[in-house]
């Protein structure tokens, strides 16, 4: 490729500038969150546009109070991702490849699941959870949170797996590999992008879950950070510095994950939605 | 994939070890809404003392106030109710009506030394289900420095309040802050205006209630109240007051703990102004009551009753009230408290005349409350008070 | 949506393969193994979505009160809950707000998301970094977004009004405190939340469009707008379907954002079917009425999905 002429180079940097402007507008609320968090002493009502000095006391308090809940969120979300992928990936493969009678109905069913409001699900689940001893347990919350990602992951991965060339799979079968082996050895590695994308979505859904955490727990044993922040703004607390600091902290793990997974996402979704 | 799998194995392990919750013979659970760190600690200390005295372990589960009722109902359906539940007094009748509570007098609790109003506060249809440790109500908080500077005396009547608020409104500062938010907070704040004016929750469209709402509208029209009033909770109101954005506010004693964290703020407290000089200032009686849910295990219920008795004993009430700035329910404790906290004298007077929200309507209060919220929000954002309250009355009667 | 092409080809392949080994038993065993892949997901979805759905429908015909939690008895009361809910003036209001909220949110999210996706297909320095940073709002739990925005939009002390004031644009806009504005403000916040999702998926779709098509178009001298209309949009159609259908379903039932921002107020101006379900069930403790509203919510979603998918299919042919 030829090196860019001065005009196109200027135009490119113009695009960068425009992109940066858009970013500023989009990220302003997050900046404001951080800004408020850094001015815990100001009494929320007169927040300066830029923090005058670096006051981290809001953060240290938030970390003290919410550190454990962040960890809980992390464990629960990772667990939910594992469950979600373990259930959704085989199903996606089965629906994409086996031509089972009723496949269409099942795929349509995944669509219907998206229509049921979370509050309806949480309400119904509680009693079954009590009978199964899943209330106040990590595993119970992981299962419930996994339900947020499963339908989406099935649809996404199924479309991706449809596009895997049939010859590759047939070749594996010729070599005498059974369906399980073919799936693990051939299909999964080829679907890496879709797997990562689904996993990321599942993580995000679970990370921001509030409804299940609220309804499926009766004690403080399993308290993710969304619930922690909600309780933070109780009737008597006016400590907005710490609340905002906790909010910032709640976004950090997800942000790290996003940066790490970024390059797989576009590819994962492309295969997913087009076919 | 490998690290993911490893984490999930760890997590499942944690789940298996971390979730066991069965009823231990000597372990009793109290569910309350003390999610604030300070309140949680005070309650934990009180429970430790009572536990020691009764030879049992008392554990505390704190859930957000708005969740106590739904949590308790869910636990009832799964037969996993805690031994003691602390309900907001306005919610208790609903649970009692459903047959969920045990008569405290049958468990040996006495109502001696408790003022009649507070016994009623914890009763439903004549049965005493809820022991209050402390009660609270609303009062007028004012910023001493701002009032002194403006040369404004603490108002005692509606006219004076309106005048004072107008004078105190300067630049970004409003004369008065109150909560007219679309939740129980707002209704709680409206009741002193409605009741002191002779209005009543059983007839929302009566001229007395309309007048009270018109008074709020007038404050707003004067510019003495922020337009954000309709979006504020009582905690927001307190934030505004602390930041100096409001010279006066209507609020309750539970804010004192937070108010005192700002050392430079000099505040005073007075009874809520009344329509005419000499009229009685009737505020809402607020606070939580300790109840013993009906679990069917009479042995445990009896012990739970003893725990409630200990937590609401004169001594514990005083400790709790001094910590939380609320007024002890017990008359003797309240007398001692008055001496110890003279600056909250106005509050003690207001409590003595305060009225319970559910006394007339019982479990029907929640429907009326919703209708009323909608009415004052409509009126404050443009509608006529009369039309808004007429609709509210229709909604309240059709809904029940 | 995505089914038609696949199911048409797959059975042919499967039967062609099955003809070789022979005995019925072997074939049945393999079918069984194949179902083993799909069964866990089906069971999971039946438990976590099917059961709640059925239960909710049944509950909407029951007199379900706080007492029910103790006795377990909820007598059937015919269509009482339904007629009560439909007679409530709040219901029609909430239904209307829900439709406005959903349409407004989707329109905003989609248009801005698409514009940004197209913008980021350009190659320019730092493009990738900027593109991934723009996803950040999406990572913030909705409860948290609600809290932050409520502060930003405060009429007296919010930074948005201070900013407008500094620009001399008034600055006393009652974003959340006037019934006329509140719904619009809630929609704006929800658009902000939804842009990243729309952008990510649409960007993915754009990447998939063969570059040759654009090269051909530019050789023909087609304008940018024409290229967009006659190449980008048609090629993007399947992706657009996914974005809009999923977007509709998640937007129509939104609850936590509205609770955090306005609690349904002021004067019920932001009351939607989602908040009404919550209010009926958990504030009024009338679970039957709550279930009715929940069912209406599901119905609205279903009607939209069917209409949209059908329209899209016929148009696509």
pLDDT digits (tens, 9 = 90+) for C248-279: 988 998 988 998 898 887 889 999 999 999 98
Nearest to C301 among A20, A29, A115 (CB): A115
A103 and C CB contact within 8 Å: yes
C10–A91 C-beta distance less than 8 A: no
Q: Please report the pLDDT score of residue C14 as a whole number.
A: 42
CA-nearest of A148, A157, A142 to A91 is: A157
Tokens standing for residue A101: 């009678």
Residue A194: partners with Cβ closer than 8 Å, 6 or more residues away:
A156, A157, A160, A161, A268, A271, A272
Neighbours of chain A (3+ CB pairs under 8 A): B, C
Q: Maximum Cα–Cα distance for chain B, whole Å? A: 77
- Give the C-alpha distances (Å, rounded to integers) separating B128 from A48, A164, B131, B159, C23: 53, 71, 8, 40, 77
Q: How many CB pairs below 8 Å do chains B and C form together?
A: 102
Nearest to B19 among A127, A137, A238 (CB): A137
Q: How many CB atoms lie within 10 A of CB B301?
A: 18
Tokens standing for residue B288: 């939580």
A136 and B CB contact within 8 Å: yes
Nearest residue in chain C measured CA to CA from B243: C157
Q: Please report the pLDDT score of residue C4 as a whole number.
A: 37
Measure in Å the smallest separation between the Cα of B262 and chain C Cα atoms: 20
Alpha-carbon distance of B344 to B339, in angstroms, equals 10
Average pLDDT rounded to a whole number, residues B277-283: 91
Nearest to A139 among B15, B235, B245 (CB): B15
- Contact, A88 vs C262, CB < 8 A? no
Most A-contacting residue of B7, B16, B19 (CB-CB within 10 A), to test interface? B19
Name the percent of chain B lying above pLDDT 90: 68
Which run of H or of E encompasses B134? strand B134-135
CA B299 to chain centre: 32
- Residues of chain C falling short of pLDDT 50: 1-19, 316-317
DSSP codes joined into one string, A184-218: IIIIHHHTHHHHHHHHHHHHHHHHT--HHHHHS-S
Neighbours of chain B (3+ CB pairs under 8 A): A, C
Chain A residues with CB-CB distance to B31 below 8 A: 218
Measure in Å the smallest separation between the Cα of B3 and chain A Cα atoms: 10
Measure in Å the smallest separation between the Cα of A197 and chain C Cα atoms: 11
B5 and A CB contact within 8 Å: yes
Alpha-carbon distance of A141 to A136, in angstroms, equals 8
Q: How many CB atoms lie within 10 A of CB C29?
A: 11
Chain A residues with CB-CB distance to B80 below 8 A: 130, 135, 218
Residue by residue, pLDDT tens for chain A (275 residues) are 445 566 677 778 888 999 999 999 999 999 988 888 888 766 555 677 777 777 788 888 888 888 899 999 999 999 999 999 999 999 999 998 888 888 888 988 888 898 899 888 988 888 788 888 898 899 999 999 999 999 989 988 888 888 888 888 888 888 887 888 889 888 899 888 889 889 988 998 899 898 899 888 877 788 899 888 887 776 445 677 888 888 889 888 878 887 777 777 666 555 544 33
CA-nearest of C98, C104, C86, C109 to C297 is: C98
A48 and B CB contact within 8 Å: no
Nearest to B61 among A218, A230, A240 (CB): A218
A84 and B CB contact within 8 Å: no
Nearest residue in chain A measured CA to CA from B240: A45
CA-nearest of A34, A76, A26 to A54 is: A34
- Give the C-alpha distances (Å, rounded to integers) separating C291 from C66, C273, C283, C295: 14, 11, 14, 6
C162 and B CB contact within 8 Å: no
- Give the C-alpha distances (Å, rounded to integers) separating A266 from A205, A261, B228, C121: 18, 10, 43, 12
Beta bridge partners of B27: B57
B74–C267 C-beta distance less than 8 A: no
Most A-contacting residue of C124, C128, C285 (CB-CB within 10 A), to test interface? C124
pLDDT digits (tens, 9 = 90+) for A21-50: 999 999 999 998 888 888 876 655 567 777
A238–B257 C-beta distance less than 8 A: no
| Residue with token string 């089972």 | A100
A112–C144 C-beta distance less than 8 A: no
B70–C282 C-beta distance less than 8 A: yes
Average pLDDT rounded to a whole number, residues B317-337: 92
C274–A180 C-beta distance less than 8 A: no
Chain A residues with CB-CB distance to C126 below 8 A: 16, 19-20
CA-nearest of A183, A153, A190 to A269 is: A153
B221 and A CB contact within 8 Å: no
B395–C89 C-beta distance less than 8 A: yes
pLDDT digits (tens, 9 = 90+) for B91-134: 999 999 999 999 999 999 999 888 888 999 999 999 999 999 99
* Beta strands B127-128; B284-285: pairing state: unpaired
Task: Name the average pLDDT for chain B.
Answer: 89
pLDDT digits (tens, 9 = 90+) for B158-173: 999 999 999 999 988 9
C147 and B CB contact within 8 Å: no
A236–B258 C-beta distance less than 8 A: yes
Q: Please report the pLDDT score of residue B386 as a whole number.
A: 96
Whole-prediction pTM: 0.86
A41 and B CB contact within 8 Å: no
C236 and B CB contact within 8 Å: no
B77–A127 C-beta distance less than 8 A: yes
Measure in Å the smallest separation between the Cα of B207 and chain A Cα atoms: 33
CA C79 to chain centre: 29
Taken in order A240, A243, A246, A248, the sign of the CA dihedral is: negative
B228 and A CB contact within 8 Å: no
Taken in order A209, A212, A216, A219, the sign of the CA dihedral is: positive
DSSP H helices, chain A, are 6-37, 57-97, 103-113, 118-132, 138-162, 166-174, 179-182, 188-190, 192-207, 211-215, 225-232, 240-274
Q: Is the peptide bond before B349 cis (omega within 30 degrees of 0)?
A: no
Alpha-carbon distance of C291 to C287, in angstroms, equals 6
Alpha-carbon distance of C39 to B251, in angstroms, equals 58
Measure in Å the smallest separation between the Cα of B367 and chain C Cα atoms: 7
Nearest to C265 among B74, B181, B391 (CB): B181
Tokens standing for residue B199: 């209005």
Nearest residue in chain B measured CA to CA from C89: B395
Chain C residues with CB-CB distance to B294 below 8 A: 70
Residue B368: partners with Cβ closer than 8 Å, 6 or more residues away:
B201, B204, B361, B396
C155–B226 C-beta distance less than 8 A: yes
């Amino acid at each position: 490729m030829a090196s860019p002429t001065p005009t196109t180079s200027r135009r490119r940097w113009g695009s960068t500038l425009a992109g940066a402007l858009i970013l500023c507008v989009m990220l302003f609320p997050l900046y404001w969150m951080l800004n408020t968090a850094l001015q815990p002493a100001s009494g929320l009502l007169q927040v300066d546009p830029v923090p005058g000095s670096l006051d981290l006391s809001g953060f240290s308090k938030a970390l003290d109070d919410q550190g454990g809940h962040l960890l809980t969120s992390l464990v629960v979300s990772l667990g939910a991702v594992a469950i979600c992928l373990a259930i959704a990936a085989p199903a996606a493969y089965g629906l994409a490849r086996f031509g089972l009678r009723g496949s269409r109905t099942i795929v349509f069913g995944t669509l219907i699941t998206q229509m049921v409001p979370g509050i309806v699900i949480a309400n119904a689940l509680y009693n079954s959870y009590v009978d199964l001893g899943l209330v106040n347990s990590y595993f119970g919350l992981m299962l419930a949170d996994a339900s947020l990602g499963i339908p989406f992951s099935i649809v996404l991965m199924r479309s991706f797996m449809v596009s895997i060339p049939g010859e590759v799979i047939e070749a594996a079968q010729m070599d005498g590999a059974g369906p399980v082996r073919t799936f693990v050895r051939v299909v999964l590695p080829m679907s890496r992008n879709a797997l990562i994308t689904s996993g990321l979505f599942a993580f995000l859904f679970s990370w921001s879950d509030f409804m299940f955490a609220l309804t499926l727990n009766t004690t403080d044993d399993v308290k993710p950070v969304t619930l922690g922040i909600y309780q933070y703004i109780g009737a008597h607390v006016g400590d907005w510095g710490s609340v905002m600091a906790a909010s910032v902290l709640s976004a950090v793990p997800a942000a790290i994950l996003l940066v790490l997974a970024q390059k797989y996402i576009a590819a994962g979704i492309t295969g997913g939605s087009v076919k | 994939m490998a690290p993911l799998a490893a984490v999930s194995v760890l997590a499942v392990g944690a789940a298996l070890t971390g979730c066991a919750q069965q009823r231990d013979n000597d372990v009793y659970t109290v569910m309350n809404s003390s999610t604030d760190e300070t309140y949680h600690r005070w309650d934990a200390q009180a429970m430790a003392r009572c536990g020691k005295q009764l030879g049992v372990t008392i554990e505390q589960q704190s859930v957000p106030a708005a969740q106590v009722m739904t949590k308790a109902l869910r636990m009832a359906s799964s037969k996993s109710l805690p031994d003691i539940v602390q309900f907001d007094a306005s919610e208790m009748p609903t649970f009692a009506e459903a047959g969920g509570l045990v008569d405290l007098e049958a468990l040996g609790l006495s109502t001696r030394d408790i003022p009649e109003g507070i016994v009623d506060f914890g009763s439903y249809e004549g049965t005493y289900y809820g022991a209050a440790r402390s009660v609270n109500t609303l009062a007028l908080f004012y910023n001493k420095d701002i009032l002194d500077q403006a040369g404004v005396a603490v108002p005692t009547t509606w006219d004076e309040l309106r005048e004072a608020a107008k004078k105190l409104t300067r630049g970004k500062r409003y004369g008065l802050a109150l909560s007219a938010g679309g939740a129980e907070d707002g209704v709680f704040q409206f009741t002193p205006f409605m009741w002191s004016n002779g209005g009543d929750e059983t007839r929302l469209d009566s001229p007395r209630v309309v007048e009270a709402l018109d008074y709020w509208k007038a404050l707003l029209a004067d510019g003495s109240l922020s337009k954000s009033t309709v979006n504020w909770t009582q905690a927001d109101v307190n934030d505004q007051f602390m930041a100096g954005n409001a010279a006066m506010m209507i609020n309750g004693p539970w804010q004192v703990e937070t108010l005192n964290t700002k050392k430079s703020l000099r505040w005073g407290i007075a009874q809520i102004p009344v329509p005419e000089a000499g009229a009685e200032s009737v505020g809402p009686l607020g606070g939580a009551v300790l109840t013993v849910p009906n679990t069917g295990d009479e042995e445990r219920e009896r012990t739970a009753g003893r725990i409630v008795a200990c937590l609401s004993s004169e001594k514990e009430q005083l400790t709790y009230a001094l910590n939380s700035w609320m007024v002890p329910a017990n008359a003797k404790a309240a007398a001692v408290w008055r001496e110890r906290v003279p600056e909250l004298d106005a509050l003690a007077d207001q409590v003595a005349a305060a009225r319970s929200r559910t006394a007339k309507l019982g479990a029907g209060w929640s429907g009326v409350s919703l209708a009323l919220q909608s009415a004052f929000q409509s009126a404050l954002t443009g509608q006529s008070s009369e039309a808004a309250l007429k609709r509210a009355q229709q909604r309240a009667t059709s809904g029940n | 949506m995505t089914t038609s092409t696949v199911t048409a080809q797959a059975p042919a392949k499967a039967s062609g393969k099955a003809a070789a080994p022979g005995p019925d038993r072997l074939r049945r065993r393999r079918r069984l193994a194949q179902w083993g892949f799909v069964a866990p997901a089906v069971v999971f979805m039946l438990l976590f979505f099917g059961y709640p759905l059925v239960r909710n429908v049944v509950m909407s015909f029951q007199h379900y009160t706080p007492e029910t939690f103790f006795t377990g008895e909820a007598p059937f009361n015919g269509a009482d809950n339904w007629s009560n809910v439909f007679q409530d003036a709040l219901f029609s209001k909430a239904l209307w707000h829900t439709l406005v909220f959903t349409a407004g949110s989707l329109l905003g999210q989609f248009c801005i998301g698409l514009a940004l996706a197209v913008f980021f297909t350009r190659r320019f320095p730092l493009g990738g970094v900027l593109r991934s940073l723009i996803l950040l709002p999406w990572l913030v739990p909705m409860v948290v977004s609600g809290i932050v925005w409520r502060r930003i939009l405060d009429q007296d002390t919010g930074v948005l009004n201070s900013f407008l004031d500094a620009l001399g644009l008034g600055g006393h806009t009652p974003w959340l405190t006037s019934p006329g504005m509140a719904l619009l403000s809630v929609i704006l916040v929800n658009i902000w939340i939804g842009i990243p999702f729309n952008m990510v998926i649409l960007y993915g779709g754009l990447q998939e469009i063969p570059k040759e098509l654009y090269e051909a178009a530019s050789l023909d001298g087609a304008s940018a707008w024409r290229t967009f209309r006659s190449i980008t949009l048609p090629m993007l159609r399947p992706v657009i379907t996914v974005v809009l259908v999923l977007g509709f379903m998640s937007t129509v039932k939104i609850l936590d954002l509205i609770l955090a921002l306005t609690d349904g107020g002021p004067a019920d101006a932001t009351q939607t079917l989602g908040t009404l379900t919550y209010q009926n069930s958990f504030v009024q403790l009338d679970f039957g009425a709550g279930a009715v509203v929940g069912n209406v919510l599901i119905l609205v979603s279903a009607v939209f999905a069917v209409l949209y998918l059908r329209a899209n299919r016929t148009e696509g042919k």
